[in-house]
Amino acid sequence: MAKNDKHSGARLVTVDEDSAGRRLDNFLLSELKGLPRTRIYSMIRKGEVRVNKGRKKAAYKVMAGDAVRIPPVNTAAAKAKSAGNAVGHLEPQIIHEDDAILVIDKPSGLAVHGGSGISLGLIETLRHARPDCRYMELVHRLDRDTSGLLLIAKKRSALRKLHEAFRNGDVDKRYESLLLGQWEGGERLVDMPLVVEHRKNGERHVSPGEGGKPARTRFVPRDYFSDYVFVDIELFTGRTHQIRAHGAAIGHPVAGDQRYGDSELDPPDLTRLFLHAAELSFEHPVTAKQVSFRAPLERSLQGVVDRLHDEARLSG
* Catalytic residue IDs: 143
Strands 228-235 and 216-224: antiparallel
Cβ neighbours, 10 Å, residue 145:
19
- Rounded distance between C-alpha atoms, residue 32 and residue 44, angstroms: 13
- Buried/exposed 192-210: b ≥16 CB within 10 Å, e otherwise: bebeeeeeeeeeeebebee
Q: Which of 227, 232, 196 is nearest to 315 (CA)?
A: 227
Q: How many CB atoms lie within 10 A of CB 281?
A: 14
Which pairing describes strands 147-153 and 228-235: parallel, antiparallel, or unpaired?
unpaired
- CA 9 to chain centroid, in Å, comes to 33
Which 3 state secondary structure label does DSSP give 17? coil
What backbone torsions phi and psi does residue 213 show, to the nearest 5 degrees? -80, 140
- Type of residue numbered 58: A
How far is the first Cα of the chain from the last one, in angstroms, to the nearest whole number? 65
> For the chain, where are the alpha helices, taking DSSP H only?
24-31, 37-45, 77-90, 122-129, 156-167, 242-249, 299-315
Torsion of CA 176, 178, 182, 183, to 10 degrees: -10
Strand 147-153, strand 275-283: pairing:
parallel
CA dihedral 306, 309, 314, 316 (to 10 degrees): 180
